[in-house]
Amino acid sequence: MAVVPLPPSFIIITAHPESPFDREDERNQNTMADVRVPKEKEREQETEVNEAQIAVHWKEEQYYYPNPKFIGQANLSDPDVNERFGEKNFPECFREYGDLLTWDHYWHTTLDTSDAPFWKWFVGGKLNVSYNCVDRHLAKYKNKAAFIFVGELEEDPPVAITYQELYHRVNEMAALLRDFAGLKTGDRVTIHMPVVPELPITMLACARLGLIHSVVFGGFSGEACGMRAADSGSRVLITIDGYYRNGTLTDHKEKADLAVVLAEKEGQKVDKVLVWRRHRGSYASAKPMVEGRDHFVDDVLKNYAGQKVAPVSMPSEAPLFLMYTSGTTGRPKGCQHGSGGYLAYVAGTSKYIQDIHPEDVYWCMADIGWITGHSYIVYGPLALAATSILYEGVPNYPDAGRPWRVAQQLDVNIFHTSPTAIRLLRKAGPDEPKKYDYHFKHMTTVGEPIEPAVWKWYYEVVGKGEAVIVDTWWQTENGGFLCSTKPALDPMKPGSAGPPVPGIYPIIFDEHAQEVKAGSGKAGNICIRNPWPGIFQTIWGDRERFVRQYYQKYNKDPKSKDWRDWPYFAGDGAVHAADGYFRILGRVDDVINVAGHRLGTKELESVCLTVSEIAEAAVVPVADEVKGRVPEVYVSLKPGVSKAGVEKKITDAIETQIGKIARPKKVHVVPDMPKTRSGKIMRRVLSAISNHMDTGDVTTLANPDVVEQIRVMVQGDKPVVKKDVPEDLKRFGEEQ
Ligand code: WT7
């Protein structure tokens, strides 16, 4: 996120045209006028700004407009959509999404609010998700590729899996899960796999039987997987022997052994481990198969060859999957997503925002182990009979030209990735895209704020100035997009996610539940005023936490059955520009967004405390050129213990208990933590030191001297204060 440093005596307020399309003549011109306010005025304004309304200063970017060729073919080119999905048509407007699916029984109630805020969508309806993603496409598309698998090794040719073959393989796997693993409708199954075709095949086989899958990102450690398996109550774990990462076939099965031990420690027995093999018939892991517990899926599948399993007709409200994500406590929470509402929402947004047509070649380079992969590699695209590419590896293997060679070879025309991947590819190969003959009509960025300069490289170099870009803001909890431009209808503005997508009504509140008006230039907490079909149903096993964390803050009447009383609190800071565009500033809680993935600072701190030498730990986010934010760790030691080797012990503990993605940038062993007189660790002060900000007034601390000591330790003798620090870093730890 680029926050433009202010000239010391000026505050910049930007004026906006009412509607981006009102000024035809100024298309692609910078339409924003800077109004400069002298210093006295600035002071006046500052006194009005309370803590929750920190003024945000950033330069408005010019609009970019979709090209006519794109508009001509777009699924959504009718501006009436705003009216159709307007508040007066809510919730019935979402019928349009429900009608994209094939129902065994049509629903009678679009939205049931009787158990607010546990919303129920398309109530009375019954359907099967695997039927909707596979079977129903056979009549027209059985010979079309559902997936094209691109392994990481470039010498291995891509493998296409047609809808017919997918149907076949999903049925066989469903037969195995039912008859060999003994799984029944409603059972949970933990899946710890990388991006290989066997992952969506397993997910769809679960959906066919009404099993609830819980896919754990392959890069998470065995222990992290075991903890999630225990929380979800899974007695079956599905894994793979190994997969390619940076050109090496890694041993992945070893994580399953650790997961089973950890799950058992947490009270959950895992009695079956089903092991896919990356190369059929040869075993990539050094860990032996455990007799009676571990089974090679390819061997067992032979007994189910050609079997068909009738899709189980499930209520719209039946849970489809759990996706664990980090929050403000040490324990990740299992976000429970439903069937009918979820599938309708991802199908609708895949059609309108991703602009997927059956004849497109669509590549979302995310990992299926995150929500983006569930919604926009597997369920949304398949509900639309798309061809979805599965890429196993890292974006820059063997070099930064790889994605563009894949795009050229497979004639990809829709591309979807994160700012972290874009920054990485830009840094490693800024001129690579030009060398390849591919043409995207549409590109997505998701997961973090994107700096305007990075956005422009994406647009001009990757998109060759031809592709429309959508910057989609949403979260694991949300099922699908919340804010994004409608690609053929709204102009793009680098660095801003844009207006809400159809049927979403956001609002920005300050800490006193007062609306922060569009164009005020002030930041606040972005909330969604209404329910939508993709919203998660609850936190697995913790209804109370669900209400407390997402709805309590701005709810005035906990007994209300009216959706208007239950704004959804997203946990992000945002600014609403006068043109209606939202700019997302980042988390307002103690969650760090590392490379587009959420990590709880509490989670990391509790890992640090498992290292025997550590007395206290505090984790803060620091800005990183590629990954956006990365964690830095501060620890103090128990009396009398030696400092030797502590940094490594902490890094190792984090890697084994969470995974490599959580690896800290630095570990600082400090003499003491800066603390309030009541003994609270001042994370805000530590974050200020790590990010070279002014530490502010520390004289009221219990131990003010330690601040300077730590500052010298971290920054050296000549401490530097930087001005252009992103807003989320400035606000980190403020609540404490
Ligand atoms: C957090 C959610 C949504 C799938 C991937 C991440 C941040 C997400 C954007 C965006 C700025 C964004 C928010 C959000 N975020 N998209 N387009 N612009 N920030 O899912 O792991 O649940 O993380 O990612 O801070 O709260 P997640």
Q: What pLDDT, in 10s, does the model give residues 638-673?
A: 999 999 999 999 999 999 999 999 999 999 999 999
448 ligand 1 Cβ < 6 A: yes
Q: Please say if the pLDDT value at position 155 is more than 80.
A: yes
Please answer whether residues 163 and 146 qualify as being in contact, where contact means their C-beta atoms are separated by less than 8 angstroms: yes
- Residue whose Cα lies nearest atom 19 of ligand 1: it is 448
Find residue 574's DSSP bridge partners: 524, 584
Token pair 């059972």 in the structure block, residue: 187
Single pTM value for the model: 0.91
Token pair 């660095």 in the structure block, residue: 495
Please answer whether residues 566 and 116 qualify as being in contact, where contact means their C-beta atoms are separated by less than 8 angstroms: yes
Instruction: Give the whole-angstrom CA distance, residue 296 versus residue 240.
Output: 9
pLDDT at 50: 33
Cα 479 to middle of ligand 1, angstroms: 12
* Inter-CA distances, 716 with 673, 675, 682, Å: 18, 22, 21
DSSP-derived letter for residue 631 is E
Instruction: Give the whole-angstrom CA distance, residue 287 versus residue 241.
Output: 9
Cα 280 to middle of ligand 1, angstroms: 37
Q: Residue 476 is which amino acid? A: T
- Residue whose Cα lies nearest atom 8 of ligand 1: it is 447
Please answer whether residues 408 and 437 qualify as being in contact, where contact means their C-beta atoms are separated by less than 8 angstroms: yes
Q: What pLDDT, in 10s, does the model give residues 321-367?
A: 999 998 888 789 999 999 999 999 999 999 999 999 999 999 999 99
Q: Please say if the pLDDT value at position 491 is more than 70.
A: yes
Question: Confidence band (pLDDT; 50, 70, 90) for 142?
Answer: very high
Mutate to test the pocket of ligand 1, among 443, 446, 484 (most ligand atoms within 8 A of CB): 446
- Residue whose Cα lies nearest atom 5 of ligand 1: it is 447
Question: CA nearest 676: which of 608, 616, 736, 606?
Answer: 736
pLDDT at 12: 29
pLDDT at 18: 42
Q: What pLDDT, in 10s, does the model give residues 286-318?
A: 999 999 999 999 999 999 999 999 999 999 999
333 ligand 1 Cβ < 6 A: no
* Inter-CA distances, 697 with 654, 688, 700, Å: 33, 12, 7
Question: CA nearest 458: which of 490, 494, 483, 482?
Answer: 494
Instruction: Give the whole-angstrom CA distance, residue 685 versus residue 693.
Output: 9
Q: Residue 598 is which amino acid? A: R
Mutate to test the pocket of ligand 1, among 526, 598, 599, 731 (most ligand atoms within 8 A of CB): 598
587 ligand 1 Cβ < 6 A: yes
SS3 581: coil
372 ligand 1 Cβ < 6 A: yes
DSSP-derived letter for residue 401 is T
Q: Of all helices (H) and strands (E), which one includes residue 653?
A: helix 646-657
Q: Please say if the pLDDT value at position 730 is more than 90.
A: no
Cα 367 to middle of ligand 1, angstroms: 15
Q: Is the dihedral of CA 521, 525, 526, 529 positive or negative?
A: negative
Please answer whether residues 592 and 598 qualify as being in contact, where contact means their C-beta atoms are separated by less than 8 angstroms: yes
Burial grade of 470 (CB within 10 A; 0-12, 13-18, 19 or more): buried
Phi-psi region of 595 (alpha: psi -120 to 50; beta: other; left: phi over 0): left
Cis ω on the peptide bond leading into residue 117 (within 30° of 0)?
A: yes
Mutate to test the pocket of ligand 1, among 215, 324, 367, 448 (most ligand atoms within 8 A of CB): 448
Question: Confidence band (pLDDT; 50, 70, 90) for 213?
Answer: very high
- Residue whose Cα lies nearest atom 27 of ligand 1: it is 475
Question: CA nearest 380: which of 455, 313, 444?
Answer: 444
User: Following DSSP, what letter does each residue of 251-298 receive, concatenated?
Assistant: E-HHHHHHHHHHHHHTT----EEEEE-SBTTB---SSPPPTTTEEEHH
Q: What pLDDT, in 10s, does the model give residues 449-460?
A: 999 999 999 999
Q: What pLDDT, in 10s, does the model give residues 686-712?
A: 999 999 998 888 888 999 999 999 999
Instruction: Give the whole-angstrom CA distance, residue 152 versus residue 665.
Output: 27
Instruction: Give the whole-angstrom CA distance, residue 56 versus residue 415.
Output: 32
